[in-house]
A = this chain, B = another copy of it.
Amino acid sequence: MPGICETTEYEACVYRHEFIERKQITMDKMKMDEMERSKMKLDQIKKYVLGTPIETDAAIYEVQAAALPCPYVEMDAQAMEISCLLGKHDIVYGLGQQVRGINKRGWKYTSFCSDDPNHTENKESLYAAHNFLVVAGQKPFGIFLDTPEKVSFDIGYSRPDRLSIRLCSWNANCYLIEGDSAYEIVRSFRKLIGPSYLPPKWAFGFGQSRWGYRNQQDIEEVLAGYEENNFPLDMIYLDIDYMDRYMDFTVDGEKFPDFPQFVEKMAHKGIHLVPIIDAGIKVQEGYGVYEEGVEKGYFCKDEEGRDFVGAVWPGRVHFPDMLQEEVRRWFGEKYKILLDQGIEGFWNDMNEPAIFYSEKHLGEVFCKLEDYKGKNLDIDSFFEMRDLVQGLSNYEEDYQSFYHRYQGESIRHDRVHNMYGYCMTRAASEAFGRLAPGKRILLFSRASYLGMHRYGGIWMGDNHSWWSHLLLSLKMLANLNMCGFLYTGPDLGGFGSNTTEDLLLRWYALGIFMPLMRNHSALGTRRQETYQFTDKESLRGILRLRYMLLPYLYSEYMKAALRDDLYAKPLAFVFPDDPHAERIEDQLLIGESVMIAPVYEQNARGRNVYLPEEMKLYRMRSPEDMEEETLAKGFHYVQAEVNEVLLFVRAGKLVPVARAANRVAEVDMERLGLLGYVACEDAVYELYDDDGSSRDCSLEGHIRRITPIEAAETAAE
């Protein structure tokens, strides 16, 4: 039974929804654990230089090149293959944003940033290129292939006992990372690639999005829907609809007659508008960004040296050559147009870059269609024709037909493809440093490469309203954290396809633990704003739990980011000697105190959960309605109705909670309660908190220790 507890420095209430005001706080300067730090020494990292690598700036430290052979893998320059044998039960972690499990074994993957909205198991590429793997076997090691070209990974697919990594050309920096455990290796790697992006605190609120909000009235209706139902909300996202003919950095004046005023009005209600920015710039006379880009020669060139023309949402576009620092600087400054109108957050999209078609290839296809028309179409020709049209988008040869200037040379796009979205987001992030120097701006991207995690988060891409994608988002969260992408989350409820109320409830129950928590859906699908569904009480309860947990979630995020640590971890990272823990693919540790185990099966009323140690289970329906029980180490079937969130608190750990509010800014971080082992004398929680918006985010000065000293007897009363 939880009871009210007191500490010398801190007074907190843990009895459900009662909160007592804090009387005094003693700031306690965080002391870095030197033992821990020493584990992450960079001398555990070796770099092997293959050929003449293209610099990506993914690593922030210069690592001395080592001499071959490498003790862990075979490197075959002829075959352009890096390989090793896998032990029968070795686990392979990594690859960040990819399909399948936390353990990537048993499939082949390709790093080639791709706009593919059907994330089925057989896919090899999503939007990212996260070329980092950990082989967790008897002698664990990590490997990071730093090259912006396409890379293929065969992780026990062709042969169950073999890992093979194939390059397109023998040019890459290959980092080998040693360590005693997968977790230690990941932390060294994270040190190598530098600190994760820090969003403002309001970005930990809940956001509503949809492709298809037609105007200001639609946005206001959304807010009204939330307010009328007393649902919390911090953000409304603006998908491509807000722009004038899909031109970046414009706002359609008919849809939003006075955009700055509208932004202010929404801000006054505590709502942040977060517009989308696409990679391609519309070819349009009179459009400043286009005209400037052409004039300055800032766009990617085709084989003949003309500005390359692709087609995306705006129709014909040019792609800014984001690899050039000067272009990045120019493109980044454009965000000022929206910053000046009161915008404080952005999402960068279509930056793989997605190409619906190129003019050149479309012409070729039309010519071939002409041929088919004349012929008496046989079945082979029919399928050929269908594939031809289907294959217009993201056509491989299009990516081989335009050029960047990079480090003084002209370089064909496919050789640097995986850096494009990264460079776009870097452009924005670096500009924010200049344009809003003291301030954290929300920024996340669809495409990414390792290293981009320093500049922004990513969302998990255009998923579907599938139960399997609920689970996939949990698995992806673990591997993204290993790659430094801490600020991330899926489109809750699912982007494509039609959602259902129970899927949304269950996905929210996971989503409240995702740093990026938003509901987003595609044009043409069922409306899926929270207020569209019937069981508003349950929906409200779960959303409010997010705000109740905010002190913990924000604190754990910031500590993880500032310590190059993981916000979300597979169980095995913390319980490495537990043979069950290492196989758990549907539970995660969130921060230092919490384990989550969401239900991801339709019509289920509970699920099996593995506890690697004794834990306290909170079965929560809302901040005001939860019950607690202690469960022993082992497997348990745990009931969880569709309106219930399962939160497990680790033995001896604490979870600070706040009184729920409808805006992050309204969450009172000074009056906290505690969940967890509050009757345990050793329990300590290090709470990180700050002003939530300034860039002064060092651990020093922002950590306070919460130590309940209440005796077990008091709690038992």
Partner of A498, one of B122, B393, B465, B468: B122
Q: Which residue of B lies closest to A312 (CB)?
A: B379
Q: Which residue of B lies closest to A603 (CB)?
A: B103
B-contact 0/1 string along A147-178, CB 8 Å cutoff: 00000000011011100000000000000000
Interface stretch of the complex, out of A2-10, A382-390, A566-574: A382-390
Interface stretch of the complex, out of A44-52, A406-414, A605-613: A605-613
The answer on a CB contact under 8 Å between B498 and A464 is no
Q: Which residue of B lies closest to A108 (CB)?
A: B498
Q: How far is the CA of A503 from the CA of B362 in the complex (A)?
A: 39
Q: Which residue of B lies closest to A497 (CB)?
A: B122
The answer on a CB contact under 8 Å between B311 and A603 is no
Query: A505 to nearest B CB, angstroms?
Result: 10
Query: A456 to nearest B CB, angstroms?
Result: 27
The answer on a CB contact under 8 Å between A608 and B605 is no
The answer on a CB contact under 8 Å between A467 and B392 is no
- Which chain A residues (361-407) contact chain B, with CB distance < 8 Å? 362, 366, 369-370, 372-373, 377-379, 382, 385-386, 389-390, 392-393
Q: How far is the CA of A392 from the CA of B161 in the complex (A)?
A: 44
- A250 interface residue per 8 A CB criterion: no
- A501 interface residue per 8 A CB criterion: yes
Q: Which residue of B lies closest to A316 (CB)?
A: B376
The answer on a CB contact under 8 Å between B608 and A583 is no
The answer on a CB contact under 8 Å between B366 and A603 is no
Q: How far is the CA of A601 from the CA of B102 in the complex (A)?
A: 12
Q: Which residue of B lies closest to A601 (CB)?
A: B585
Q: Which residue of B lies closest to A637 (CB)?
A: B635
- Which chain A residues (102-157) contact chain B, with CB distance < 8 Å? 103, 105-107, 118, 120-122, 156-157
Q: A464-B122, A603-B583 are in contact. Are A160 and B501 (CB under 8 A)?
A: yes
Q: How far is the CA of A103 from the CA of B605 in the complex (A)?
A: 13
- Which chain A residues (506-526) contact chain B, with CB distance < 8 Å? none
Specify which of A159, A160, A635 lies most central, judged by the most chain B CB atoms within 10 Å of its CB: A160
Q: Size range of the interface on A?
A: 35 or more
Specify which of A497, A603, A610 lies most central, judged by the most chain B CB atoms within 10 Å of its CB: A603
Q: Which residue of B lies closest to A91 (CB)?
A: B603
The answer on a CB contact under 8 Å between A500 and B106 is yes
- A356 interface residue per 8 A CB criterion: yes
- A344 interface residue per 8 A CB criterion: no
The answer on a CB contact under 8 Å between A390 and B386 is yes
- A261 interface residue per 8 A CB criterion: no
- Residues in B with CB closer than 8 Å to A389 are 385-386, 389-390
- A100 interface residue per 8 A CB criterion: yes
Q: How far is the CA of A502 from the CA of B106 in the complex (A)?
A: 8
Query: A143 to nearest B CB, angstroms?
Result: 19
- A101 interface residue per 8 A CB criterion: yes
Query: A182 to nearest B CB, angstroms?
Result: 14
B-contact 0/1 string along A627-651, CB 8 Å cutoff: 0000000011100000000000000
The answer on a CB contact under 8 Å between A534 and B392 is no
Query: A652 to nearest B CB, angstroms?
Result: 25
Q: Which residue of B lies closest to A313 (CB)?
A: B379
Which 8 A-B pairs rank lowest in CB-CB distance, beginning with the nearest? A122-B497, A608-B608, A389-B389, A635-B637, A121-B466, A103-B603, A366-B373, A106-B602
With A100-B602, A106-B603, A366-B369 known, 18 other A-B pairs at CB within 8 A are A103-B602, A121-B467, A121-B468, A122-B498, A160-B501, A160-B502, A311-B377, A356-B382, A366-B373, A370-B373, A382-B392, A390-B390, A580-B637, A583-B603, A583-B604, A585-B603, A608-B608, A608-B637
Q: List 10 A-B contacts (CB under 8 A).
A: A101-B601, A103-B603, A122-B465, A122-B496, A311-B382, A370-B373, A389-B389, A580-B637, A585-B603, A635-B637
Measured CB to CB, the residues of A under 8 A from B are 89, 91, 100-101, 103, 105-107, 118, 120-122, 156-157, 159-161, 311-315, 356-357, 362, 366, 369-370, 372-373, 377-379, 382, 385-386, 389-390, 392-393, 464-468, 496-498, 500-503, 534-535, 580, 583, 585, 601-606, 608, 610, 635-637
